[in-house]
């Protein structure tokens, strides 16, 4: 029986006979009794096991795996609803507390835990993170289902460079020697950087689609913001007329999923907000209560130009992290939408506003406290003649002729966005390093396990 069933049990009978399995989080020995806290990963709260001293075992240590049978009783202590009076304790897996890198009375920081990707899930902080991550995944799926989106499984292996940035991992069979190397798929193939183009294909038949899966960037960076493998939530919506329609969905999604995580992971989120990132809960509550302001890229440039930080930021340059964080701070440390970027900063599929001399695109980024850019999106260029001209200028008209077909046959105004899932978790929990919100971080010069 899982521990959370015991811990939330409403007593109808005085006693219940039960069996639990889990890992020992603490051991306290007295003359006549031993007290264990056992946890099976289903919740942050452990179950107290009370046993007679005759059941003590030298293998019963912090970190060991146990199977306990006994009587579940109402606890006389206020801090716990129930406890298990053990009749039998069997040590299934031994754990040497001397060699075990986590110590029973120490609170290890996230940087220390990062050294042990194969063991850190056994700590309170990281097990809480993984339960939050699981609930956040469910919350995104729930939002899209409730709002009429169809889930699409977009491919991990693709022949398209969606972003056009060139930061791609090429896919090749490992068994083929250089002397006889041929393309396995007859064309160069890569790990996907985005499912957006494939979602656009599907948006020709479904008015609302989304995908949630891994994406890959071969960016040679070990910064606290970057991973080589991470998860993206991406959506595409048909029959959109303005960026306002898109930003409303983005804001609703952020608030809905955040509220669900806070409501369903109370203890786990509280652990982070109290002990890992003290004071961050007030920031999250402020985000949920406010309407997200909107500013144009040109307005952002003016704000940066007036800053006392003396940013050198001419119109036409891309926003950097320090600029994004300043804009968020300027707006009262709540999420802010920045719209209408210079067209040349955005991919070919972004809809041109055709507003010379600036020549901007109907694109939008959602900037959030502590992180910077969380979401990026745009209206898509649905006008065949305009899109054809852009692809011809870039020399891509043959490569993306299939993409032009989407405009030739029943095209409608549409748009979409992508959200970095790990950055979302950083924003909600206040975690500074992105490597601390993913089970197995992959980045430049690091692929442990």
What average pLDDT does range 109-114 have in this prediction?
Answer: 93
**Could you give the C-alpha distances from 139 to 136, 149, 263, 368, 435, in angstroms and in order?**
5, 14, 11, 19, 22
* One CATH from 3.30.930.10, 3.40.50.720, 3.40.30.10, 3.40.50.12780 for 120-436: 3.30.930.10
Query: Taking Cα atoms as reference points, which of 178, 191, 134 lies closest to residue 437?
Result: 134
Confidence of residue 105 (pLDDT cuts 50, 70, 90): confident
Mean pLDDT value of segment 78-84: 84
Is residue 242 within 8 Å of 283, Cβ to Cβ? no
Confidence of residue 377 (pLDDT cuts 50, 70, 90): very high
| Host H or E run for residue 244 | helix 243-264
Both structure tokens of 182: 């041929």
pLDDT given for residue 177 in this prediction = 59
pLDDT digits (tens, 9 = 90+) for 132-180: 999 999 999 999 999 999 999 999 999 887 655 558 999 988 875 555 5
Instruction: Give the predicted TM-score (pTM) of the model.
Output: 0.92
* Burial grade of 162 (CB within 10 A; 0-12, 13-18, 19 or more): buried
Helix (H, G, I), strand (E, B) or coil at 29: strand
Domain ranges of the chain: 3-100, 120-436
Question: What value does the mean pLDDT take over residues 98-123?
Answer: 92
d(CA 297, CA 277): 31
Q: pLDDT at position 4, please? A: 58
Cα–Cα distance, 193 to 158 (Å, whole number): 9
Instruction: Give the separation between CA 119 and CA 16, rounded to whole angstroms.
Output: 33
**Model confidence pLDDT, tens digit, residues 5-25:** 555 544 434 457 789 999 999
The average confidence (pLDDT) of the chain is: 91
Overall CATH class of domain 3-100:
mainly beta
Instruction: Give 286-336 as a DSSP string.
Output: HHHHSPPPEEEHHHHHHHHHT-TT-----TTPPPPHHHHHHHHHHTTSS-E
pLDDT for res 11: 41
């Amino acid at each position: 029986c899982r521990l959370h069933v015991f811990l939330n049990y409403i007593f109808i009978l005085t006693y219940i006979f039960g069996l639990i399995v889990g890992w020992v989080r603490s051991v306290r020995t007295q003359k006549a009794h031993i007290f264990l806290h056992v946890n099976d990963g289903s919740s942050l709260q452990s179950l107290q096991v009370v046993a007679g001293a005759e059941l003590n075992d030298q293998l019963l240590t912090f970190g060991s795996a146990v199977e306990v049978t006994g009587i579940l009783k109402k606890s006389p202590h206020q801090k716990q609803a129930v406890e298990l009076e053990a009749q039998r304790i069997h040590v299934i897996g031994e754990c040497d507390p001397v060699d075990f890198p986590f110590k029973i009375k120490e609170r290890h920081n996230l940087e220390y835990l990062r050294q042990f990707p194969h063991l850190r899930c056994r700590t309170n902080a990281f097990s809480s993170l993984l339960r939050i991550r699981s609930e956040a995944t469910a919350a995104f799926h729930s939002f899209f289902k409730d709002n009429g989106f169809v889930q699409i499984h977009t491919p991990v292996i693709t022949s398209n460079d969606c972003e056009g940035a060139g930061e791609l991992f090429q896919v090749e069979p490992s068994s083929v020697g250089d002397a006889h190397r041929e393309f396995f798929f007859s064309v160069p193939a890569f790990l996907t950087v985005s499912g957006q183009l494939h979602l656009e294909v599907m948006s020709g038949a479904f008015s609302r689609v989304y995908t949630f899966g891994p994406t890959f960037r071969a960016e040679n960076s070990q910064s606290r913001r970057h991973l080589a493998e991470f998860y993206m939530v991406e959506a595409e919506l048909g029959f959109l007329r303005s960026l306002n329609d898109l930003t409303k969905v983005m804001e609703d999604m952020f608030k809905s999923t955040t509220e669900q995580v806070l409501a369903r992971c109370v203890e786990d989120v509280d652990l982070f907000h109290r002990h890992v990132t003290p004071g961050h809960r007030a920031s999250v509550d402020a985000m949920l209560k406010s309407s997200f302001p909107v500013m144009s890229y040109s307005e952002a440039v003016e704000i940066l130009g007036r800053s006392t930080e003396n940013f050198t930021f001419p119109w036409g340059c891309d926003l950097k992290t320090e600029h994004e964080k300043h804009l968020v701070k300027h707006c009262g440390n709540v999420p802010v939408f920045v719209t209408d970027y210079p067209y040349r900063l955005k991919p070919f599929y972004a809809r041109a506003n055709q507003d010379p001399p600036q020549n901007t695109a109907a694109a939008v980024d959602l900037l959030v406290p502590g992180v910077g850019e969380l979401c990026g999106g745009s209206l898509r260029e649905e006008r065949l003649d305009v899109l054809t001209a852009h692809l011809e200028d870039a020399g891509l008209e043959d490569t993306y002729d299939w993409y032009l077909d989407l405009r030739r046959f029943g095209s409608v105004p549409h748009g979409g966005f992508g959200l970095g899932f790990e950055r979302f978790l950083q924003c909600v929990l206040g975690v500074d390093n992105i490597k601390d919100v993913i089970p197995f971080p992959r980045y430049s010069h690091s692929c442990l396990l």
